[in-house]
Structure formats: structure tokens, C-alpha cells
Amino acid sequence: MSLLRLPSSIDVAVIGAGAAGLSAARRLAAAGVAVVVLEARDRIGGRAQTVGREGFGLDLGCGWLHSADENPLAVLGRAAGFAIDETPPPWWQQAFNLGLTPAELAQFSEAWSDFEDRLARAAEGGQDRPASDLFLPDDRWNARMDAISGALNGTRFAQVSTLDQAAYRDTGVNWRVVEGYGTLVSSLGEDVPVALDCPVERIDRTGPVLRIDTARGRIEARVVILTLPTSVLASEAVRFDPPLPDLVEAAAGAPLGLATKLFMAVDGADDFPPDSQLWGRTDTAQTGGYHLRPFGRPMIEAYFGGDLARGLEDEGESAILDFAVTELSDLLGSGMRRRLQPLATSMWGADPFSLGAYSHVLPGQGDPDTGARARLARPIEDRIFIAGEATSRTAFGTAHGAWAEGERAAIEVLAALGVDPRLSSPDEMTVAR
């Protein structure tokens, strides 16, 4: 993608070229609205990022098409010729029955189902408190549940609102994009005007038009759509004049957790069943999940969440690799140390344009009408709109949730500009490969 010249003025400036930003820009462009996307990185896709290693596309960010049977990105991907793999995820397995017998796996599955039932009842009663309050005292599975929360929320259940956790909706159908989810999302932005290497520093809202100061100069816009991660908004990396303390407070109420991925090549991969799963330990949340031979490839995809991921990222990529190799060697024998080679590591917590992976709502901030997500989605002065996975009430933490929220914000902007949103449809936009 060539470097786009920054226009001096525009109808709508979309800040951030992740799934939400690209979705919003596509819808606005289809309606004939002059739009530009301002992206701080030198690439598009945001936290959907595929890197090439060993001839494969590896997803450092989102990798699964959740609720795939109704996920618009699955439809767009297929229409564009992407290969969609429908192999079910192995998340509830434990390869070789290491550390857990089949009977124990069944016990954990039942304990998890009971926990979800308690969450649902608490939410029905309007209880907005830490989800960990619904653990059974001294239950052997509590630590494992917190490990699962690290994968789901990027944090422990003590930091997650019962109302928000219960609101998440998933059909249970999960597919993958063989070429990479990040490759798919990026392809959707190939026809969108994006100014790369263009971090926004300040938005002046004192006049009739919004003045946006970027590292590449100033641009004026009638309307702005903000699709920045909540942790970036809460850090006030983008300054507003006058300030917007309510926006900062709402963003802080739905902070980003952290999920860190490590891909490793493995010698003798045929020793492991394809698309199988191992958890390092069952007695602590300080453990990793290991997807053995994803897509049947000769590699292992390691996944760390929550405070474990934070601590490992603070120590650096070598510490992430050492932790994974140690856990796998403990499970599969000391010979594993010689069989593993690192291929790629995500460092979303250290990325200044992310500061984490995906949002969760803190206890006390989960009310669907007055909580953090609702406040984030509320337009400001009818000319500043916020969109992203964090504003989704039921699909937060997902690329398709961000995509749908970008569409929602674009429709609201069209209404604010006096343009009938029925005159355009995102389906009219071609998907480029």
C-alpha cells in the first residue's frame, strides 16, 4: 500500500485501520462520503495481523472466526476466495490425557457449565460484581477457570463484571482462515483510503470543524470515528481540547486484557495428533495453552493470558519462549527442548498502539445501559463517534464484533450528515485480494 497524501479537509476522519475502522470507512465510501482512515502503524489490520513463516500465515492476533455460522467476515472471506477451515477447535481436549484423565475432563466441563449457570442467574438478578465471586469456595477447578478467563478475557475473573461476562454471545461455531484472519481483514481495506504512519496526537473541538493534529500534519473533519483500543484512549495518548474526561473514564472501565501468542516449529511433528490441545498445568492460572499442529502444520501455537502474559512480556520474548519450552518439556519429556524453535511472538501489551489484546469490563461497569460499553458507544456532540470490539455488547473481544461496531458507527455518522444509510450497503463494496 503506497503512502497516501493527507488531505487538508475531509467529511469523516476514521482513526484506526483495524476491523472497526475499515468497516466504517467501507460503509461511508459506499454512501459517497469523503473519508480517510488515519493509521499510526505502517500497516492496516490493527490487532488482526498475519505474518508469514515457513510458508504459512500465522495469526499473531485474532485467529478464530467466532460464531462463524453468522459471522459477516466468514461470508466476506468466502466471497473473496479465502479458504475457510471448519475443523472444530480443540480447546476442551487434553492430548494424551496428560495431567487430566477423561473423567477429570468431564468433571471440569460440568464445573464450568455450572459456573456459567451461576453467572447467568446473577446477571438476571442485575448483580454487577466480580465473576470470581461465583466460584465455589476451595473448588479444585477455580484456578483452571481463571486460566480459561485469561484466554477469554485476558485477565482473571476477579477483574470481570458478571453482567458483562454473561452478556457475551457465541453460537459455538468456530472456523479459521487458512491464509490468516489478519490477511482477510487487511484485504478488506485495500480499496479504502488509509494514511499510514499517521498517529493522531490531538483533536481540537473548539470550532465548527474538528482539527486533527497528526505526526504528518493537520487535517480538518466534520466528523471523527475513533476506533482506538480502550487502553490507548484511557492513557490519553490522543489529547482532546477541551478534554473529554467522561470518555477517558468509560475507556478505563473497559480496559484491555492481554493474550500473548508464541509460534514454534517442532521437529518430529508426526508424534502429535493434528489440531489437538494441551494445557500446561491444571492447578494454577499461571499456565499456557498449547495448540499442537494447528491446521496439521509442523508447529505448536502457545497461548498465554492475563497476568502471566503481562509478566512474560515484561521480561521479553526469550522469557516467553523459555516458559513454553519448560512447560512442554515437563509434559512431554526433556527432549522437547531440542525439538522446538521459535517462529513468531506477539507482544500486544508492549505495542504502544494497542497496550493489550481485547477488552473486558470491570465489576461495577457492566450495566448494558449505563456501563462502560454503553458510555463508550454514545456519540459526543453528534460529531465524535467511538467504535471497536469494546463497544460491542455481545461480541466484544472479537474481530466480527469490531466489524459490526464500525458499521454501526458509520450508519450513525450518515444520519448525522443527513445521508440516508439505506442508499448504500457494504455488500456493494468489492473485496480485493
pLDDT of residue 2: 53
pLDDT of residue 426: 55
Among the residues of 214-368, which ranges form H helices?
A: 230-234, 245-253, 306-315, 317-332, 336-339
Query: What CA–CA distance (Å, rounded) separates 399 from 24?
Result: 13
Query: What CA–CA distance (Å, rounded) separates 405 from 65?
Result: 16
Q: Give yes or no for a cis peptide into 242 (omega within 30° of 0).
A: yes
Strands (DSSP E) found in 236-311: 239-241, 259-266, 276-279, 289-292, 299-305
Question: How does the average pLDDT of the chain come out, rounded?
Answer: 95
Give phi and psi for 28, each to the nearest 5: -65, -45
Question: Can you give the pTM of this predicted structure?
Answer: 0.95
C-alpha cell at 30: 459506499
Query: What CA–CA distance (Å, rounded) separates 348 from 47?
Result: 8
Own/partner contacts of 212-216, CB < 8 Å, gap of 24 or more, are 212/13, 212/15, 212/38, 214/6, 214/38, 215/40, 216/6
Helix (H/G/I), strand (E/B), else coil: 6: coil
Task: Determine how β-strand 217-226 pairs with β-strand 9-15.
Answer: parallel
Write out the chain's pLDDT in tens, 433 residues: 457 889 999 999 999 999 999 999 999 999 999 999 999 999 999 999 999 999 999 999 999 999 999 999 999 999 999 999 999 999 988 999 998 899 999 999 999 999 999 999 999 999 999 999 999 999 999 999 999 999 999 999 999 999 999 999 999 999 999 999 999 999 999 999 999 999 999 999 999 999 999 999 999 999 999 999 999 999 999 999 999 999 999 999 999 999 999 999 999 999 999 999 999 998 999 999 999 999 999 999 999 999 999 999 999 999 999 999 999 999 999 999 999 999 999 999 999 999 999 999 999 999 999 999 999 999 999 999 999 999 999 999 999 999 999 999 999 999 999 998 876 665 544 332 2
Nearest to 275 by CA among 300, 247, 257: 300
pLDDT of residue 428: 44
Q: Give the dihedral sign, CA 134/139/145/146.
A: positive
